[in-house]
Structure formats: C-alpha cells, structure tokens
Amino acid sequence: MGPAASRMRSRARQRALDGRGVPARLTLLVVVLAVWEWYGHQVSAALFVPPSAIVRAFYDMAVVERTLLDAVGTTVVGLVAGLGAAVVVGVAVGVALGRWRLLGQVVDPYVAFFYSMPLIALQPLLIVWLGIGSVLKIAMVFAFSVFVVIINTAAGVREVEDTFLDVGRSMCATETQVVRTIILPRALPYIMTGIRLGLAQGLVGVIVVEMTAAVTGMGGLVVTAGSFFQTARLFVPILVIMLVSVVLTAALRWLHRKVSPWAQTGHG
C-alpha cells in the first residue's frame, strides 16, 4: 500500500507541474507566432512568409484543390506499411540475436554496419530492382527502420533477468512459450522504443523517396512548391509532416501504455 500511495502522489505532483506549464507554453507560442507574423511582412515573400499566409495556403491545398489529404494518405500508407514490415522482421531477428548469444556475436557486427551506413545510398540500387512506385517507398522505409528495431529488441531480450527464465524452465515451458510469455513482455519497453525510433527514421526514408524519386505524397508537395518558389505552400507540407510525426508517436505511446501498463512504474 505504501509504494502504491507514493506512486499516486508522485503522479499527482507531476500532473500539477504539467498543468502549471501549460500557460507558459501557450504564451511562448503566441509570442513566437506574433514575432513570426511581424517578420514575415518585413522580407520578400519568396524568402519568408507570415503564419497568416501559410494558413491561406493550407486552406487552398486542403479545401480548394484537395491535394493535401491525398498526399498525406500516400505518405502515411507507405510509412505504415514499411514500418509494419520492419517491426515484424526486426522483432523476430532481435529476439533471435538476444536469445542465442553465438548468433548475436556473429550477426551483431553486420547489423551495426548497416545501421551506421548512409542508407540513402541504397536508393539507386533499389530503383533498379523495384522501379519507382509504392514498393520502392515501402522498401526504403523498411531499410531505414528495421535495424534500430533489431538493435533495441536484442538489447531488451538480453536484459531479461535469469530469474524469470528459470521460472519458465521449472514449469517445463517450451521455447515458444518462454518467448511469448516471458521474454516479449519483459523486453516490450525496449521494443517500443525501437519502434518509435524506427518511426522517425522511416519518416525520413519515405520523404527522401518522395522528394528524389517518386515526387508524390508530402515530399512531392515540398519539391513542387520549392521548384516554383512558393514559400507559403512549401511550409504547409513541412508542418503537416511534423504533425504526422507527433500524432503517430503519440499513438505509439498510447499503445505502449495499453499493452504494458506496468511499464509506467518499472518492470513489475
């Protein structure tokens, strides 16, 4: 009862602190927007634009032309498909590397090599293999995301305490049961961290493809607006990309809390 009450008090204090920070954050936002609006009227529209011009451009692209929603859908579909494949493969490989030490010693250097290399260099080769289209986009997201998922999953599996594994063995659990009921739940915080990092990396991958090869989706809007020096329209996809990243990251955090509520107060 004591630790539970202490955690509740700690959460209450944290919520109170967060509540006091809201007015300050809103004030800062208003000040930044005001300064931005003022400065945007002092320079050429080709170089910088005020927020009011960006809002007008957003309305034109989203409501009048209706190109923005299609672009967001194209980008998000490619991102989610590539990230989903990266999660499936990354978790499976990460569990194997973390579970079997010899396999990890053999494969880990290669994972580290591919993780550290500039993966954008693979794009010309992938274009030759896959052509220009949605498959290329998914493949690039996969390549950008999978290695960070593997690394974090393997690290989480290696951190599982031997005590829990011994309990599983004492109950004659099979390897599949050990992985499903002990290893994956205990390694889940690491796995979710890897997925969040993979999301950020994958978003970079999908935008790179859209800007340099496919010229579709949000990256295509950036290229088109930049080519015609339409600065206000250039800001719209950039800000929407940021918003998509924030929303998807928040969704992953919510999912993490739902599937592993114990992770909010440690591993048990």
What would the pLDDT profile of 46-100 be if each residue is shown by its tens digit? 778 999 999 999 999 999 999 999 999 999 999 999 999 999 999 999 999 998 9
If asked whether residues 84 and 158 sit together in one domain, one would say: yes
Q: Which residues contact 63 (CB under 8 A, 6 or more apart)?
A: none
Tens place of pLDDT for every residue, the chain, 268 residues?
A: 555 555 556 555 656 555 667 788 888 989 998 998 898 888 877 778 999 999 999 999 999 999 999 999 999 999 999 999 999 999 999 999 998 989 999 999 999 999 988 888 888 888 888 888 889 999 999 999 999 999 999 999 998 887 767 676 767 777 778 778 788 888 999 999 999 999 999 999 999 999 988 678 999 999 999 888 899 999 999 999 999 999 999 999 888 888 776 555 444 4
If asked whether residues 23 and 65 sit together in one domain, one would say: no
Which residue range(s) make up the domain with 158? Answer: 51-263
Amino acid at 204: V
If asked whether residues 32 and 146 sit together in one domain, one would say: no
With respect to residue 135, please indicate whether it lies within any of the assigned structural domains: yes
Q: Is 165 exposed, middle or buried (0-12, 13-18, 19+ CB in 10 A)?
A: middle
With respect to residue 142, please indicate whether it lies within any of the assigned structural domains: yes
If asked whether residues 6 and 59 sit together in one domain, one would say: no
With respect to residue 268, please indicate whether it lies within any of the assigned structural domains: no
Amino acid at 124: P
122 vs 143: CA distance, rounded Å: 9
With respect to residue 149, please indicate whether it lies within any of the assigned structural domains: yes
Structure tokens given for 248: 């998807």
If asked whether residues 181 and 136 sit together in one domain, one would say: yes
If asked whether residues 147 and 259 sit together in one domain, one would say: yes
Structural domain tally of the chain? 2
If asked whether residues 23 and 118 sit together in one domain, one would say: no
If asked whether residues 88 and 38 sit together in one domain, one would say: no
Q: Which residues contact 202 (CB under 8 A, 6 or more apart)?
A: 79, 82, 83, 86, 141, 142, 144, 145
How far from chain centre, in Å, is Cα 172?
A: 38
If asked whether residues 147 and 126 sit together in one domain, one would say: yes
If asked whether residues 196 and 156 sit together in one domain, one would say: yes
With respect to residue 168, please indicate whether it lies within any of the assigned structural domains: yes
The phi, psi pair for 165, rounded to 5°, reads: -65, -40
If asked whether residues 26 and 139 sit together in one domain, one would say: no
What would the pLDDT profile of 184-198 be if each residue is shown by its tens digit? 888 999 999 999 999
User: What's the CATH code of the domain at 157?
Assistant: 1.10.3720.10
If asked whether residues 36 and 124 sit together in one domain, one would say: no
With respect to residue 194, please indicate whether it lies within any of the assigned structural domains: yes
